């Protein structure tokens, strides 16, 4: 049973560029959430996608956008990259409707470095 | 505004002894709490969770305790093993139907080192 997969594993960009990160959820999961983890900190919630729509959003600017496809996979796009966007980007998947609680399973992350 | 806090950045414990990790939260709307373990170069791995209707949940060597009145939870690992050396994150979310449902809020993590 494949878990959550993310690509690429590492990425180097320069300021002002745009980046797209990809995530495939765990088999049977229909909900994808994205988190940003800066060095020495816990993950910060960016947004969550369900039924191809953004359902929840954290305190991130509009430069951060996403998409969910009919097969439940998802993309995270960041425009006009800043040095402060350098972080580990984590994707988590879950199954909506299996109960009141939202247990999320994480992928290995994409390490983004902005120079 | 950090709503979930882990005030101990690191913990060193001998193999076979108990590891106790602590976590405090400020948002009284939080309804579900989780602990994750993270090794370098890997994503967080789910360990154990607890809902606000319980005060204790056990799974093998891992036990989570919740004190709602104090807005405090702890993770006990007994006995500690060298493979438990990792960063442990506490996370919380709101109940279904609330604004914070599905948005896991994490603490900064506690680095645990288990020595032989």
Count of H-run helices and E-run strands, chain A: 0, 11
Q: Where are the beta strands (DSSP E) in B2-94?
A: 4-5, 10-14, 19-25, 30-38, 45-51, 56-59, 62-67, 72-77, 86-94
Q: Determine the pLDDT at residue B2.
A: 85
For residue range A50-104, what is the model confidence (pLDDT) as tens digits?
Answer: 999 999 899 999 999 999 999 999 999 999 999 999 999 999 999 887 665 668 9
Please list the residues that pair with B91 across neighbouring strands: B34, B106
The pLDDT value recorded for residue A98 is 61
On chain B, the residues whose CB falls within 8 A of the CB of A106 are 36, 43-46
Q: What pLDDT, on the 0 to 100 scale, is given for residue B98? A: 79
Yes or no: say if A98 and A110 are a contact pair by the CB < 8 Å rule: no
pLDDT, tens digit, for every residue of B48-88? Answer: 999 999 999 999 999 999 999 999 999 999 999 999 999 99
A24 in reach of chain B (CB within 8 A): no
Sketch out chain A's domains with CATH numbers.
5-108 (2.60.40.10)
CB-based contact A96:A33 (threshold 8 Å): no
Query: Is B43 close to A106, i.e. CB distance below 8 A?
Result: yes
Interface probe with B: pick from A42, A59, A88, most Cβ of B within 10 Å: A42
Q: Which structural domains are found in chain B, ordered by start?
A: 4-115 (2.60.40.10)
Out of B32, B36, B103, the one facing A56 most closely (by C-beta) is B103
- Cα A4 from Cα A24, distance rounded (Å): 6
The per-residue b/e assignment along B95-108, b for 16 or more CB within 10 angstroms, e otherwise, is eeeeebbbbbbbbb
Q: Which two tokens stand for residue A39?
A: 């060095």
Shortest Cα distance, chain B CAs vs residue A49, angstroms: 10
| Alpha helix stretches (DSSP H) within B2-93 | none
**Locate tokens 């940003």: which residue?**
A36
Has residue B19 got a pLDDT over 70?
Answer: yes
Q: What are phi and psi of B48, to 5 degrees?
A: -160, 155
- On the question of pLDDT at B1 being above 80, the answer is no
Q: Which of B100, B102, B25, B97 is nearest to B66 (CA)?
A: B25
Residues of chain A contacting residue B91, judged by C-beta atoms under 8 Å apart: 42
- The vertex-B83 CA angle with B81 and B84, nearest 5°, equals 70
| Structure tokens, A54 | 């953004």
Does the beta carbon of A32 lie under 8 angstroms from any beta carbon of chain B?
no
Taking the C-alpha atoms of residue B77 and residue A10, their distance in angstroms, rounded to an integer, is 33
Q: For residue A1, what pLDDT band results from cuts at 50, 70 and 90? A: low
Count of pairs with CB atoms under 8 A, one residue in A, one in B: 69
């Amino acid at each position: 049973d494949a878990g959550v997969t993310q690509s690429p594993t590492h990425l180097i960009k320069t300021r002002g560029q745009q980046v797209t990160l990809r995530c495939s959820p765990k088999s049977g999961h229909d909900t994808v959430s994205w988190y940003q983890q800066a060095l020495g900190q816990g993950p910060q919630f960016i947004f969550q996608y369900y039924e191809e729509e953004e359902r929840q959003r954290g305190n991130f600017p509009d430069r951060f956008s996403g998409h969910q496809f009919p097969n439940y996979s998802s993309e995270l796009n960041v425009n006009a990259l800043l040095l402060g966007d350098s972080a580990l980007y984590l994707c988590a998947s879950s199954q909506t409707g299996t109960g009141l609680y939202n247990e999320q399973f994480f992928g290995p992350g994409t390490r983004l470095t902005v120079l | 505004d950090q709503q979930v806090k882990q005030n101990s950045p690191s913990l060193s414990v001998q193999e076979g002894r108990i590891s106790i990790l602590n976590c405090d939260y400020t948002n009284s709307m939080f309804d579900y709490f989780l602990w994750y373990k993270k090794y370098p170069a890997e994503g967080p791995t789910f360990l154990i969770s607890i809902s606000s209707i319980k005060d204790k949940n056990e799974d093998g060597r891992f036990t989570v305790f919740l004190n709602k009145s104090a807005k405090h939870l702890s993770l006990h690992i007994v006995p500690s093993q060298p493979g438990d050396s990792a960063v442990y994150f506490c996370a919380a979310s709101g109940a279904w139907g609330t604004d914070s449902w599905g948005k896991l809020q994490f603490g900064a993590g506690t680095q645990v080192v288990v020595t032989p």
